[in-house]
Structure 1
Amino acid sequence: MEGHSGDGGVSRVLLLGFCIAGIWASYIYQGVLQETVSTKRFWPDGKRFEHLAFLNLAQNVVCFIWSLMMTRVFSRRSNDGAPLLSYWSASITNTVGPAMGIEALKYISYPGQVLAKSSKMIPVMLMGTVVYGIKYTLPEYVCTFLVAGGVSAFALSKTSSKTILKLAHPNAPYGYGLCFVNLLFDGFTNATQDSIKARYPKTSAWEIMLGMNLWGTIYNLIYMFGWPHGTGYQALSFCREHPEVAWDILMYCLCGAVGQNFIFLTISRFGSLANTTITTTRKFVSIVVSSLLAGNPLTRKQWGSVAMVFSGLSYSIFLKWRKLQKKKRTE
C-alpha cells in the first residue's frame, strides 16, 4: 500500500510539473509572438501590422474549433449544460477587453502591459468597497498598495529609448488607460461566467470555452468585416503580402488554445489557487524574457517596480493559501 501511495505522489508531482511547463511554455511564447506582431516591421516593405484587433478574431476562431473538437471527443454537450445563448453578454466584454489590452501594445511596452494587467485586484477591491461596501483586511490593503505602487512607479519611470523606438505610437497614459478598462471588463466577464456555472453546475470547461468563443467570433466578424470602416479585409491583405505575420498569428492562436488546456487541467486536478500561482509566476518570467530576449531593457527603477508588483501578488497568493488551510482544518 505504501508503495502505491508513493507512486501516486510521484505521479501527481510529475503531472503538476507537466502543467507548469505547459502553461509557462504556451503563454510565454504567446507573449513573445504578441510583442513581435505588434512591434516588428515585416519584410519586404518594412511595414507594421496595425490591425491588432484581428488577433482576437483569429484567437476566437481557433479556440472555437478547438473547444468544439474537445466537446465532441471528451464531453459531449448534455441538456443540463448552459445554453449557448447565455454567453452573449459575457462575450461582449470578453471581446472588447482583450482587444483593448492588445491595442495597448501600440502605446506602451509589453512589460508595462503585463504589469498593468497583473493589477486585477485593484478594480476588484475598488468596486467591492464603493459598490458593495465590502471591508478588507490590512494584509489585503498591503497587497493592493504594493501592486498599485509598483504599476504606478513603472508607468512614471523613464522608458529606455530602444523600447520607445519599437512602439508604433508611444503614449503611456492612453496605453495604461486601455489596460485598466480591460481589467474592468475582465471582472464583468469572470463574474458572469461564475453566475453561469452556478446556474448550470454540470457545464464543462470545454462548453464554457465553446460558448464564449462562438459569440466572440460573431462579434469580431461583425466588427472586423461588417462594421463601417472595418479593417478585416486590410488585415487579410497584409497577411497575404507578409506570410511571416500570418504564421506568427497562427502560432499565437495555437499557444492560446494549448495554454487553456493546461489551465483547465490544472484547475481540475490541483485547484484554482495552484493555477493562480503558476500564471502569476509566468507573468514575471514573461517580463524577464521580454527584457532579455525581445529587446525591452528595463531600468533599475523599473525592475524595482516589477519586484513590488510581484511581492504584492505573492503575498496575496500566500493569504489565499493560508485561508484555504484554515478552512480545511475547520471542516
Structure 2
Amino acid sequence: MVVISSVYAEDAAVDGVWSDYWVLRFLVNLAGYATIIIPGYLLVQYFKKSNYLETGRGICFPVVKACVFGNELKPGVQEQPFPSPRVETQEPSFTRQTIKLLGCVIGLQASYLTWGVVQERVMTKAYGRTDTEPGVKFRDSQFLVFMNRILAVTVAGLCCALSKQPRHGAPMYNYSFASISNILSSWCQYEALKFISFPTQVLAKASKVIPVMLMGKIVSRKSYEYWEYLTAVLISAGVSMFLLSHSQSQHPSTVTTFSGILILVGYILFDSFTSNWQDALFRYKMSSVQMMFGVNLFSCLFTVGSLLEQGAFFQNLSFMLQHPEFAAHAGLLSVCSACGQLFIFYTISQFGAAAFTIIMTLRQAFAILLSCLIYGHSVTVVGALGLATVFLSLFLRVYARSRMNRKKRAAQSQTPVQKV
C-alpha cells in the first residue's frame, strides 16, 4: 500500500522549507557536483587537445599527467579506456581462494551489519529527546556521506604511503565516475529510510545481484553463462522468502511511499554501476587501496563542495557539537564504512562485482538469522525453504564455476605451443 509517511508529513508541515522535499535536495546536490564536474571536464578536454604531453613542463606537469593521461601512456599513444586484463602468472589454489573469499565475507558482514544498525538509529530517531523536549532528527544524508568518505580517504592514503604499491597507471579522472555513482547510491540509501518499510528495502537489496549483472554487460561488456543468471535469480528469491517470512512475524510497518520506491530504484542503478565500473578499473595495474583512495578523494571533493555551496556544512558541524551522541554515531559509521570499503575493493579486485553483490545480498539474511539465534526467534517453514534455496544456489554456483575453470585449464594444456 502506497501512502504518505505520517512522520515525514508532520516534519514537513512544521518546517515548511524546500529541504523537506527529497527531489529538490537531490537536484541541488547534483547542481553542486556539476559546478566541479563541468570545469573538470573542460580542463581534461583542453589538456588532451593541446598536446600537453609533449608541450607541458613545470611543477604541475606530473600532476596533470597523472590526472588526465595516467602514468603508463607514452607521447603519441592513443589512450585506451581499459587496457588488457592482467595475466596471472600462477593460478591460486582452490583452498587459498576459498580462504580469501571467507575472509572477505566475514569482513564485509562485520563491517556492514554494524553500519546498518547505526545507520537506522541516525536516520530514524531524534537526538536531544527528553521528558519535556521531543528532540531533533538529523536530516542531511549528504553530510553523512562526506563523514564516511573523509575517513576512508585518510585510511587509504596512509596505506598507500606506508606500504609498497604497484605503479599507478589509470588516469585519475576515471575515478570520478565511480565516485559520483557511489555518492548518489549512498545518499539514496540514507534517504530511503525516511520513506519506505523494512520489507520493501530488504527486497530491493536482495534482488540487486540481477541488476549488477545486467549493468556488467553494459559497462564492462561482460558475458555471463545461463547458470549464473539462474543462480542469481534463485539467490534473490531465497533471500526474499526468508526476509519476508520473518518480517511478517514481527509485524513491520506497511508504510511505503512512491518516493521511497523511486529512491530505491536510484539506489539499485547507481550501486550497480559503481561496482561494475570499479571492476573495470581494476584492469589497470592497481591495488585495492589505490582504488579506495582515488574514489574517496573525488567523493570528498564533490560532497564538501556541494555542502559549502548550500551553506549546510557548518550547520551540520554545529548539530554535531550540540549532540555528542550523534557525533559518536557518525564516527562509528565512518569507521565501519572505511573498514567495509577496504573489504569491498579487495573483494571486487579478487572475485568481481557479481560475487561482491552476492555477499552483500546475503548480509540481510545473516542479520536476521543472527537475531533468531541470539534472541530465540522462530524461523518459519517458508524462511527455512528460502535459506535452503540460497545455500543450494551458492553451492551450484561454486560447483559450476570450478567445473568451467577445470575445462578451460584442460583445453589450454592440450593446445600445442607453436615454436617460432
| TM-score, normalised with respect to structure 2 | 0.59
Q: 2:151 aligns with which of 42, 58, 62?
A: 62
**One-letter amino acid of the structure 2 residue matched with residue 222 of structure 1:** G
**One-letter amino acid of the structure 2 residue matched with residue 204 of structure 1:** S
The answer to whether residue 172 in structure 2 is matched with residue 84 in structure 1 is yes
**Cα 1:156–1:207 shift into 2, 3 Å:** same
**Cα 1:120–1:39 shift into 2, 3 Å:** same
Cα shift at 1:111: 6.0
Separation in 2, partners of 1:10, 1:60: 34
User: Contact 1:75 / 1:204 at 8 angstroms: preserved in 2?
Assistant: no
The answer to whether residue 276 in structure 2 is matched with residue 191 in structure 1 is yes
User: Contact 2:206 / 2:362 at 8 angstroms: preserved in 1?
Assistant: no
Moved more, 151-160 or 68-77: 151-160
CA RMSD of aligned residues (A): 4.4
Q: Could you tell me the percent identity over the aligned residues?
A: 32
The answer to whether residue 193 in structure 2 is matched with residue 113 in structure 1 is no
Q: Which runs of 5+ in 2 are unaligned?
A: 1-92, 413-420
Report which of the two structures shows the higher radius of gyration computed on alpha carbons: 2
**One-letter amino acid of the structure 2 residue matched with residue 226 of structure 1:** E
Q: Aligned residue for 2:340?
A: 259
Cα shift at 1:133: 11
Cα shift at 1:225: 2.5
Q: 1:43 aligns with which of 104, 109, 128?
A: 128
Moved more, 312-321 or 58-67: 312-321
Q: Aligned residue for 1:314?
A: 394
Q: Aligned residue for 2:163?
A: 74
Cα shift at 1:94: 1.6
User: Contact 2:212 / 2:273 at 8 angstroms: preserved in 1?
Assistant: no
Higher RCO (Cα < 8 Å, 6 or more apart)? 1
Moved more, 37-46 or 122-131: 122-131
Q: What do the CA deviations read for 1:59-101 (whole angstroms, capped 9, x no partner)?
A: 11111111111100113574x4323222122211121122112
Q: Which runs of 5+ in 1 are unaligned?
A: 1-7
Q: Aligned residue for 1:4?
A: none
The answer to whether residue 285 in structure 2 is matched with residue 202 in structure 1 is yes
Q: 1:246 aligns with which of 305, 324, 327?
A: 327
Separation in 2, partners of 1:161, 1:238: 34
The answer to whether residue 296 in structure 2 is matched with residue 213 in structure 1 is yes
Q: 2:256 aligns with which of 162, 168, 171?
A: 171
**One-letter amino acid of the structure 2 residue matched with residue 250 of structure 1:** G
User: Contact 1:129 / 1:135 at 8 angstroms: preserved in 2?
Assistant: yes
**Cα 1:133–1:208 shift into 2, 3 Å:** closer
Q: What do the CA deviations read for 1:280-315 (whole angstroms, capped 9, x no partner)?
A: 443421244578889xx9996994796498468636
SS of residue paired to 2:253: helix
Counterparts of 1:225-304 in structure 2, within 5 Å, are 225-227=308-310, 231-264=312-345, 271-272=351-352, 278-289=359-370, 303=383
**One-letter amino acid of the structure 1 residue matched with residue 149 of structure 2:** N
Moved more, 186-195 or 250-259: 186-195
**Cα 1:96–1:279 shift into 2, 3 Å:** closer
Cα shift at 1:25: 1.8
Q: Aligned residue for 2:415?
A: none
SS of residue paired to 1:48: coil
